[in-house]
A and B are shown apart, each in its own frame.
Chain A
Amino acid sequence: MIFFRNIFRSIYFVIILFFETLINFLIGLDWIVICPFFLLIYFVSTKRFDNQNIIPLVISGLSYDVFLSENYLGVYSILFLLVAIISNYIQKRFQSTNYQEVISFTFGFLIYNTINLLEANFISFFIPSLIINYLIYFLYQRTLGTRV
């Protein structure tokens, strides 16, 4: 059962990751990226942190490395796992502050985009992307809240 759940979750993660690539390709803007996969990682690592997310994250990373990137196999797996750990850690560390979510989201998003860090226009692409993704996450949480 756990095996099938992991397989199902991995497929679901990979689909969202590939959807992220497709949507950013279709939007075609240099200064903004929409990251549904990051939102997914952030959500599962802050709201539903669990060891069962490890295999789907690793498989997503490996499939991204195999099919969509020029990096060595495993780079994106490490990145996704780091995003999950650090988002969760910061969320817990700043639990007493009002802006814990913003801080952990920003750090998580920064790590998620570490590979683009050396690009010349990183700041001009990072800030709008951070705002738009946080807005999507915020709206998602609001809709989730009303449903509950």
Chain B
Amino acid sequence: MQSTEALPKRSYILYILFILLSSLLILIDYFSNKELSSYFPNSVNFEFELENSDFTFIQRFNTLFEQRAQLVSENIRLEQEIQDLRSLEIVNKELQLQLESYEEISTVSNIQNFELLSSGFITRNLNLEYLIYGGTNQQLEVGDLVINEKGFVVGYLREVFYSYSILESPYSSDFNLEVMDKYNNTYLITSNGSEMFISSILLDNYKDDIDFLYTDISFNHSGKFPVVDTRLINFEYQNNQINASVKFLDSFTFNTKLFIPKFK
């Protein structure tokens, strides 16, 4: 029993000896700078004298390999082309989405006079201050108006950094914006974070059909953009003074498209 168990282990000995012998060969080859392993390939000449017919046969064989190589390279080229087309398709979709976002704002009057810098929300803090894309790298300045895709003002830039800015929106209690109606009456819009308050500053020519309150270049704004639709707001008119409070109907989402208009 013991002899049958021992037999396979003993039979490995010769294998191990040859492994050691091969290791020795590796060492010799290593120290001879591969002279040993390159001796045969250098001394044996694989070029034979060939008959014309043999050559034709080999040539055909070579052609077969060449065709295969061509097919492989063509396949690689086509694969690359497909990848390029796929990436183009993605770019195309992104551009279509961007185009759609511009479609609505393009209906706003006089918008062609402005260069629209596209932006978007990055994050917001607990004080409902929003961080948006774009900063001094896009020549943005403090006080620049920010409008949504319908052309309504959603706030202004309170602080501008290199590539991002802080948006002061009506959801912040520090929000205040001077606006004007179409009869040049001026108003101040403030906010407590949950409601917006509109109070008149100067009423020269007040009428009921003011419709919208706009920003104006006379307040150092970049242009005339609607801020509030007053048609659904009940104004209290007392002592040549108008006051109103507006509850926020919709809040921002991170998908809301933002534009910063710059006069051309």
Residues of A within 8 A of B12 (CB): 85, 88-89
| Secondary structure dominating the interface of B | helix
With both chains docked as a complex, state the minimum distance between the C-beta of A64 and any C-beta of chain B, in angstroms: 11
Residues of B within 8 A of A85 (CB): 12, 15-16
Size bracket of the A interface: 20 to 34
Residues of B within 8 A of A54 (CB): 14-15, 18
With both chains docked as a complex, state the minimum distance between the C-beta of B13 and any C-beta of chain A, in angstroms: 9
With both chains docked as a complex, state the minimum distance between the C-beta of B124 and any C-beta of chain A, in angstroms: 43
With both chains docked as a complex, state the minimum distance between the C-beta of A115 and any C-beta of chain B, in angstroms: 13
> Contact flags (1/0) for B212-244 with A, using CB distance below 8 Å?
000000000000000000000000000000000
**Is A74 close to B, CB under 8 A?**
yes
Q: Is B22 within 8 A of A77, CB to CB?
A: yes
| Secondary structure dominating the interface of A | helix
With both chains docked as a complex, state the minimum distance between the C-beta of A7 and any C-beta of chain B, in angstroms: 17
Q: Is A58 within 8 A of B37, CB to CB?
A: no
Residues of B within 8 A of A92 (CB): 8
Q: Is A78 within 8 A of B11, CB to CB?
A: no
> Contact flags (1/0) for A45-66 with B, using CB distance below 8 Å?
0000111001001100110011
Report the number of A-B residue pairs with Cβ-Cβ less than 8 Å: 68
Q: Is B11 within 8 A of A81, CB to CB?
A: no
Most chain A beta carbons < 10 A, residue from B18, B21, B72: B18
Residues of A within 8 A of B15 (CB): 51, 54, 81, 84-85
How long is the Cα–Cα vector from A58 to B72 in the complex, in angstroms? 36
| Residue of B18, B25, B68, B72 touching A81 (CB-CB under 8 A) | B18
With both chains docked as a complex, state the minimum distance between the C-beta of B15 and any C-beta of chain A, in angstroms: 5
> Contact flags (1/0) for B60-101 with A, using CB distance below 8 Å?
000000001000100000000000000000000000000000
> Contact flags (1/0) for A76-87 with B, using CB distance below 8 Å?
011001101100
Residues of B within 8 A of A40 (CB): none
With both chains docked as a complex, state the minimum distance between the C-beta of A70 and any C-beta of chain B, in angstroms: 9
Residues of A within 8 A of B29 (CB): 72-74
- If the complex has contacts A51-B11, A72-B29, A88-B8, are A77 and B18 also in contact, measured as CB distance less than 8 A? yes
With both chains docked as a complex, state the minimum distance between the C-beta of B134 and any C-beta of chain A, in angstroms: 41
How long is the Cα–Cα vector from A72 to B30 in the complex, in angstroms? 7
Q: Is A73 within 8 A of B8, CB to CB?
A: no
Q: Is B72 within 8 A of A49, CB to CB?
A: no
Q: Is B11 within 8 A of A66, CB to CB?
A: no
Residues of A within 8 A of B207 (CB): none
> Contact flags (1/0) for B2-37 with A, using CB distance below 8 Å?
000000100110111011011111101110001011
With both chains docked as a complex, state the minimum distance between the C-beta of A60 and any C-beta of chain B, in angstroms: 12
Residues of A within 8 A of B48 (CB): none
| Residue of A51, A74, A82, A88 touching B26 (CB-CB under 8 A) | A74
- If the complex has contacts A49-B8, A51-B14, A74-B29, are A58 and B22 also in contact, measured as CB distance less than 8 A? yes
**Is A145 close to B, CB under 8 A?**
no
Q: Identify the A interface with B (CB < 8 A).
A: 28, 49-51, 54, 57-58, 61-62, 65-67, 71-75, 77-78, 81-82, 84-85, 88-89, 92
